[in-house]
Homo-oligomer: A and B are copies of this chain.
Amino acid sequence: MQAAQPVHGRYYTSTVRESEVLKSILGRSPSDDPRVLIGPGDDLACVRVSPPESPEVGPPLLVGADQVIDGLHVRADLIPWDLIGRKAVCRALSDVAAMAGRPVATIATALLPADAEAHAVEKLCTGLFEAAALVHAPLVGGDVAIHRTDSGPLSISVTVLATPSEQQSGGQSVRRDGARVGDRLVVTGPLGGAVGADGFGHHLTFTPRLSEAVMLRAILGVDLHAMIDLSDGLGRDAGRIAAASGVHMMLDAMQVPCRTGVSWEQAVGDGEDYELLLAVGPEANLPEALGGSAESCHLHVIGEVVEASADTPLVGVRTLDGEVRDVSAMGWDHG
């Protein structure tokens, strides 16, 4: 088995695929611990903050983790390390946005190359701490270690803690599995080309859509059926909502918002956009944009949820000439 990715300038082959490992993890029996409200499989898990013997007493907490790895998500030889730290934090917090959560704190572990320079490490820490503080998710702890081998690459793991957006109403988070036939599919911004040929670009400078997610949750209420953040590519990430919800999706190539100079195929497959994809009930009154600032977020209806059938792909795109292309596998194999 092989996986090849033209990401960040390097190809690789490996004996296992990330998606296969995840499938094996999700195939395990779920925990029978009553404190686990949402287990592995969504953007974040949800647990009650309670000691083992009194599982009912505590409030719900959203928690999840993500990694940024040299050669996979960044090129550590090209990119200033404060931007790498920033990306590690923002990437993990994008999962909080995906569930319309409110950040509580972040934890980070870093594994440094043996030849890391002190000033680069200092910048990495600055990037981590400042990005976390900026979105009200203070970095409160973690660990640092240094590779014992010459060629071990930089990697950073960030865990995020958040509260569900509506703690009073029982801690309902926006999950992946609520999309229904007839829902409109909506994205919060232009897609594609997030990683430039020089390794720089949107993937290093984006701000996770935390406040937009909370606004959408407040405006749309129960009509916000499902949500995910677009990290691995629209095709693959839309497929995750579709699979979790037991539906198919049909997108319109002409409606997919593309970053300047980017084709719809790139917009669907490039990944690293960190915009939100929503499934919204047909009755809901959808605003055109959120916020009034220069950074206001435009909402784009790009397709709809259709019935699962053998005649349609999990995620299809209808092109200008009326053909339907299967894009379910377009994007990363779990970045």
Contacts and interface: CB of A to CB of B under 8 A. Distances in A.
A261 to B, nearest CB: 26
B104 A51 contact: yes
Interface string A114-128: 111110011001000
Contact of A65 (B66, B149, B159): B159
Given A111-B155, A151-B151, A151-B152, A31 B140 contact: yes
Label chain A's interface by main secondary structure: mixed
A21 B125 contact: yes
A303 interface: no
Contact of A47 (B104, B147, B153): B104
A49 B104 contact: yes
B65 A122 contact: no
Contact of A141 (B3, B63, B71): B63
Interface string A303-326: 000000000000000000000000
Interface in A46-94: 47-52, 58-59, 61, 63-67, 69, 71-72
A333 to B, nearest CB: 9
Nearest to A128: B25
Pick the most buried of A104, A111, A147: most chain B CB atoms within 10 A of its CB. Answer: A104
Interface stretch (A35-43, A180-188, A249-257): A35-43
Interface stretch (A8-16, A217-225, A239-247): A8-16
A148 B12 contact: yes
Interface residues of A, number: 86
A146 B36 contact: no
A28 B153 contact: no
Contact of A144 (B21, B31, B114): B21
Interface string A1-31: 0010101001011111110111011001001
Most buried by B among A21, A50, A118: A21
Contacts of A52: 102-103, 136
A199 B266 CA distance: 48
Contacts of A153: 147, 149, 152
Given A144-B22, A167-B51, A64 B107 contact: yes
A146 B18 contact: yes
Nearest to A38: B140
Given A51-B102, A59-B49, A141-B45, A146 B14 contact: yes
Contacts of A39: 138, 140-141
Nearest to A24: B122
